[in-house]
Amino acid sequence: MPRSPPRDEVAADRFVFVATLDNARNLSNLLKAVHFRDQATVFASANGIRVTTEAAKSVQGNAFIQACIFQEFQVEEDSVMFVINLTVLLDCLTIFGASSLPGVTTALRMCYRGYGHPLTLFLEESGVVTVCKIQTQEPEETLDFDFCSTNVLNKIILQSESLREAFAELDMSSEVLQITMSPEKPYFRLSTFGNAGSTHCDYPKDSDMIEAFHCNQTQSNRYKISLLKPSTKALALSSKVSLRIDNRGFLSLQYMIRNDDGQICFVEYYCCPDEELGELES
């Protein structure tokens, strides 16, 4: 039977959303990957949870936690949506700190009664139970980047290790990162333009680091590094990354992350291209 905190306090109430986890770190690690703003929108449906953060109307991070990851997962309505302070939520999820004892985990039970009510967390570790109530707010519409797979021109799937190495080599004093994809050489190129001049990292399409390379036409777009930096949190946790660019130059970075139990979750970032690219090339 899944380990969970006592239910006496919650049995009498009707909740529109209930979820339990044997290991709260499986949730907190994913939320950290999209924690670049305090405010986050939580969307729960029968499929699982999506937690969304946004900045400058130009970048959006989405953490997806499938229902099967949870030991118990119930959504009583078609969907449940609310805004929460992500910093406070993460503080609560890690309230017991990083346990130094092997095999010791924090069990979590999340309950939400609906509009106007707080999100209640029951956290239990080694018999000690802590209850946290976090105020929720009315949800606002999240940005719709209208990113459709049918409009994707180029896609590459590569091992995250190689992208981490590239970011370590590139000049992050640059304001922009230029991504070039082409059916011909250089195939896949990352470029920065910093204080020390231009820096390029090239990947041949048959590189061991590349699992899939689908390029329909040559495409080169620049993205503000300040907008991409939040996604490096997800990159650090991931094993693979899918990079897609559509016909408008919009970028999708989808990171595959394995949790402590070996289950697969995804974090996806959308980013607008830098509007100054046309001026720079003309």
Q: In this predicted model, what pLDDT tens digit does every residue of 5-63 receive, in sequence order?
A: 444 444 446 899 999 999 999 999 999 999 999 999 999 999 999 999 998 888 999 99
75 in a domain, yes or no? yes
Q: What region, left, alpha or beta, does residue 35 occupy, with left being phi > 0 and alpha being psi -120 to 50 degrees?
A: beta
Q: Please tell me the predicted confidence (pLDDT) of residue 170.
A: 83
Q: Please tell me the predicted confidence (pLDDT) of residue 7.
A: 47
143 in a domain, yes or no? no
22 in a domain, yes or no? yes
Burial bucket for residue 269 (CB in 10 Å: 0-12, 13-18, 19+): buried
239 in the same domain as 162:
yes
What six digits make up the tokens of 131? 């209850």
pLDDT band at 109 (very low <50, low <70, confident <90, very high): very high
The CATH number assigned to the domain holding 212 equals 3.70.10.10
146 in a domain, yes or no? no
d(CA 122, CA 7) in angstroms, rounded, equals: 9
Residue ending a domain, choose from 90, 105, 137: 137
- Look at residues 179, 167, 170, 223 and name the one whose alpha carbon lies nearest to residue 197: 170
What torsion do the CA atoms of 76, 81, 82, 87 make, to the nearest 10 degrees? 100
Mean pLDDT of 83-111: 86
- Mean pLDDT score of the chain, rounded to an integer? 88
> Which of 31-35, 109-113, 203-207, 273-277 is predicted least confidently?
273-277
Does 279 score more than 70 pLDDT? no
> Which of 146-150, 205-209, 273-277 is predicted least confidently?
273-277
27 in the same domain as 59:
yes
116 in the same domain as 77:
yes
132 in the same domain as 166:
no
Q: Please tell me the predicted confidence (pLDDT) of residue 35.
A: 94
89 in the same domain as 27:
yes
215 in a domain, yes or no? yes
166 in the same domain as 79:
no
Range of the domain at 184: 152-271
266 in the same domain as 160:
yes
267 in the same domain as 204:
yes
The count of structural domains within the chain is: 2
More confident position, 282 or 257: 257
Residue ending a domain, choose from 112, 137, 162: 137
118 in the same domain as 209:
no
104 in the same domain as 186:
no
Q: Please tell me the predicted confidence (pLDDT) of residue 190.
A: 93
pLDDT band at 99 (very low <50, low <70, confident <90, very high): low
Residue ending a domain, choose from 80, 111, 137: 137
5 in a domain, yes or no? no
Q: Please tell me the predicted confidence (pLDDT) of residue 96.
A: 80
| Residue reference for tokens 């995804």 | 266
Mean pLDDT of 111-125: 95
Does 2 score more than 50 pLDDT? no
Q: Please tell me the predicted confidence (pLDDT) of residue 187.
A: 93
142 in a domain, yes or no? no
133 in the same domain as 77:
yes
Query: SS3 helix, strand, coil % of the chain, rounded to 5?
Result: 20, 45, 40
Q: Are 19 and 121 in contact (CB under 8 A)?
A: no
**Tens-place pLDDT, residues 145-194:** 888 888 999 999 999 998 998 888 888 788 999 999 999 998 999 999 98
266 in the same domain as 173:
yes
Mean pLDDT of 266-272: 95
1 in a domain, yes or no? no
d(CA 282, CA 279) in angstroms, rounded, equals: 5
Q: Please tell me the predicted confidence (pLDDT) of residue 220.
A: 94
